[in-house]
Structure 1
């Protein structure tokens, strides 16, 4: 058989031969490890099919070459050649789970089952044994069965632990209901799809049959968490389905599971237009199906209005803007889902009709796209030709999507750029060449794009003011004499009209502009008059123009961004206003034009998400990136930070976020980043070296913690702040790791720390995520990069200087192992609550304060007045207030432990008042002074200015701080 396969491989296209020979070698080696394989005597046709599928799919090739018995099972059972009936998967999975006795066994059994069935599905799809509709149905049924049977097993296990949940009103036992959203609900899942789920339960109550009852809400939340883990967790055997819970009421800020009543109230009172779209495809996929149908009927009025719902047109326009934004991203034309004429546009056409007319025409109340297209034709809402073109295009696009995703079982809709990938897709689509396949694909996309534009285009598009545009266009194109052009700018109150026109002339005459292709130059010429007209509405017009031209220059080779702004006046307006307000924002946008997408939605731009939403959003973004693609993960981390910091800056400028909230959000962004960076670094290290061990011999489960000091520790990050970090671990440095490439645990954690720093601080074209400062670790730069918690405690007790204990007052656990983080907090409390000699402490604090002021404050010659006031470091500034708080924490925490509760200065001042160390008036005054000084630093950072201001700034406040400093620190007597 091996020789027959080798001979068949020799006849394959040369582009595949190296890969095929490697697969054959792996297959042969896997066979050699089997005791017997007499059942592998297959026909020449079967062997030819193996070679064909190995050519088309690395996922199938790897799975079957590594596991020959899996291949034998699929072939000998006849499953590759036959369609399953609707109960086949249910019966097969049920049989597998009969042998499961623990959650770990359940997790493994699900993944092995999924591997077998996905190999079968992709095999049948790529070799065109199965139709597109059958493929999507098979994947959807696989998802539904794994959800339902996992839920059943976990529900029984939860009932044993916490009792059976009973309804308070009905008095009957309850089960959870799982709604499948999106393509899962419509039996349209692709071969490497996420699943979108919503969990609910019929009514409130409590469990019965356990020693201690718990409320139904708590029971079903625990059950839901375990279900998501069973499906989503990646193990050595892979995952079952990536699971997304963001479509539930209130998104990630809401409870994981809600009662039916709470669900109904939410959609009735707070349901948004996009949630109507989401609910169109919803169906019950697991749990109590009868109760689930009751829930679905109760939600139907929210989705489908009784009347022809013309109010949906505003939603359609919003959706059109979102699609337009995604289409214009760099490279998105190659995305067959999001690009022009892609899958999403077909889906949106159908959903538009469903929302507008579904309340009156129940034939449109169906989740499956192809069924609804037929109903639209029957209802004469779309002509037959349009329906046929959309159906043909949709089938073709979905087949291309499967061909792309089937290569690596990877969720992507980007057309491959490499030759081997293109050849695979072409052959899967039964075309001899990539070019011929691409020609047909473009025909379908053009048809979809035409129908999309015909149906969704607004009838009331804004018309430009032709006269004003003509004036600005002539100025931009250089059709006016220099003096006349400067006069126009002067008339529009440009403060430096000659300089402004010179900047425009220099841009117009740049070689990059002169050499632009026709389309790009047309886009630039259409955009510039609109830009100038918008700039003319600002206060500092010439300065704003100077800043925005940096952005224009940066996108001359990517003029799709100009189209984005040209077609979205609101985004252009936000851009001009932000750049007029902040040169820092202007530089960020010029360096990363992709951030322009953030301007398209003013609601989200000026309303940053909360901490939980930030964490969930970043996690979801990274889930879509292969775990071994560190470069892409780092790029996603960079963009996430930049996008959300931009939102915070915009909100601060607009006045929708006060100072304390600004710092909170900037700190939350950093915490979300650190959480994911630790996960990525841990995965990379354990994949390579195995797991480190604890002193008792147990395997470490992320026994690594990041402690933040300074501004991040104090929840006071600024826009350009670096991160002061300390790394801790709780492993046994004398034990080796568990992997084949084992290293000492101490070395493991050092390399882990280095990997974290590398991910955060590596400078690329996209910048760095954060600059990291590790000098506050025990023994500073001469100390270990990562030390054990025990060593950290010993150092703090026996060797740390007073200034290091001052720094510890602002330290807190921010990422990594929560258990280790809690242990650190215990050590911190123990160190800070030690009773200290106040005289010695006072001297140490005052000496360090003077040393810092001499080193970092404003330098002034003897007998001369200072030329500036440094808000942070000069007398009466921010650091005086910080040191005052640190003096109080170190001096009185043994008596008032609540002083240690917070790492930020404002709340520490409040605690000092509560403890009687400061009177209310003083504490409030210091807080307000502290916040006003920090607010000015923030504003100056957005203006790219340092922390030095005019010498008389804050004169009264500085005098007050100095007085309190003298009374409290210098003269304090206890």
Structure 2
């Protein structure tokens, strides 16, 4: 029978949620519980807690510490409210169980259940803590008041908003008590000044956590007859002492840290300022984030009249913040910085700072408040949930959206509270242990499968929050222009324009017209656009030129609007829509290419669609297209069509790779530059091959009377083309058997001339300019030479500059065997066996100095000119080429047309110090990226940074400076890198050492 009773009790404990029923049975069997152990009401109360084992352990400790344990147990059995409150707290908070074990009489604070106890305000809390006689007494009183708040919270008597407000009121009352203690310790200081404590953050917003820093700002004024400096010193001592009382840890624990770092100049600024000093700083120096923080400013302690004066004085500045220059980039960067600072191992556990977390809701609500609160005073609540309600009531947020975010915010905050309550530690991380997660799930009401139910709810609410940009910012804009009655909020046209302006659109009226054209009506096309646009608008707003992004999207949509696959691709392939948004808002080149070939949008949805194609594949496609054309002009048009598509492919892949996304970080610039240069070289080589085939077929049919090859020179031969580079070439021919030299020469000249004519035909595409000025004798020499003529010329007349130019010569089109024999012919010229003579060395140095003085554009800044400026491409390339001319005959690795490969080989051969090689390589990469960025952004080639602010910002984003304020940093970094490269180049190029 005894065993049966034991099994029965054991089963009862298991059914009530005990995970260690044997240990629980032993505890209940102790003498301390007496007959109470058999009371099913008590067992049911344990079963209703988040962690019955924890609750039982806590009660055992309390009973053992209580002088009259029977009174406690009798009261517990007689009062269900006390049972629910006390055991509920013990089942969720080990830390509060520790407090009750130290102060067993404090359970009586939970025994009364009057209406006045349900929702106390700051006066009731002040009455509870203000009588404190010393800091430890204050800590005890604070924790006892916290016990009551937790009891109401756990039992559901208070909802989240009420609990957070009570915690904020308790914090305010505690600050008042701490300031009173500090004043009692230093009465002379207290007499010398008026000091106000302004609550910030969650304290100011009446939405505090259980464990959180309490953010404050101190304002002080001299008391009558006191000098300002003396008063500020006294106020500083009072403020510091008050902070220590709250922050110090003793046997009674700690209350919470008081954080004054939101003050002007942060921790580097004075702790206390006068009201005038605060305002002077805010008007002259404050950043956007400081005004966003001041949205929650609320006087909480000290001289309340002074605190109110501060709040009234700063309010107008807060509500003008959205009119500040760079408002949107500043706010976006704040959110970006928060996410970047989360340790990678914690991102998936972050309730507050991670994607879909609490900060996303708070951030979005505050941004909408700052945008629309300028004219609508109903939006100016410092409390997140109240502000969200006001945004919904005012029509700025859809009511269903607001309700979903309200629910998500409450869930996440409740989860955060329960996590903090356990140990009374400041944390926002989901615990990893299953037991901890089980306790959390049960504390939120999940019973049957608490851990899985908890995670399911968390995922649901986090997903809702992740959609907040679409829901809070952009959907109402569409409703404002689409003339729909969907039961959601409707923005007035003026409010819609105001929101677009605050989000970075320079022409909000134009943006609204584009939205109306895209999204109005009841067609299927308009319905899909209304699904796509909210997300696209967010991506456009995150770019340097949102207006251009939206305009280009409208143009592409107009061009492809009747194509069935276009909108379906964007809707169903998430990467395609984001890639398109990034490309359309990043500059002019890629959108211009796309608008002339809008079907290339399909490349953005293909997993490998942005990967450059090989030169062989492109050449095969171009030659096939040329073969199908009716005449030479249409053949070249077909070749240009392939070039246009491939340039878009390359530019789009470059932009998306440079900017990166949350899922795909920006790629390493070094391999990206090499890949882009090789891709553009391949595209232009294939185009030349097609144009050459067209020139030959138009007059001679399938075979020219002479073999003909095109030799790439400069960046073309070096596989280092940028988007705006010309194609430097040489033309070489060799008479076929039975053809006279005269006839062959005429044919070669004719085909070269026709090739140039075809490529110069008017086009809206980026031109492929053929430059043959690097041929022997330059412009004065014949356009085409035979292989034998080249051999004779280089043998007898070759100058040092021609040997240097030939370093990057490589066949790119035409007869492959002839091209190979040409490179064999020039190898001894460009890789001289005896190195450079002193005369040749002087000539090369003289030519470079002349180039710098004569070819630098008038008025150009030599510190930022990417090609000819200090430490730019010319400095690096001429230095590398000098090493090749001197040493390539003996160092095989130097026999390459590629600058970076030659520089690496020079380092491996110890011809250059590794640090110098790294310096030159870094400068060459940066200057090349600048040239590419300028072409991508402006749509035309350039070697200097743009002067237009938006264009400069777009270049900065490409180079990895996402915020608008990064332009100055970008220029400083460029000058620093190229200055170091110039020093190395001068030493190596003009020095005397070998």
* TM-score after normalising by structure 2: 0.46
- Report the TM-score when normalising by structure 1: 0.47
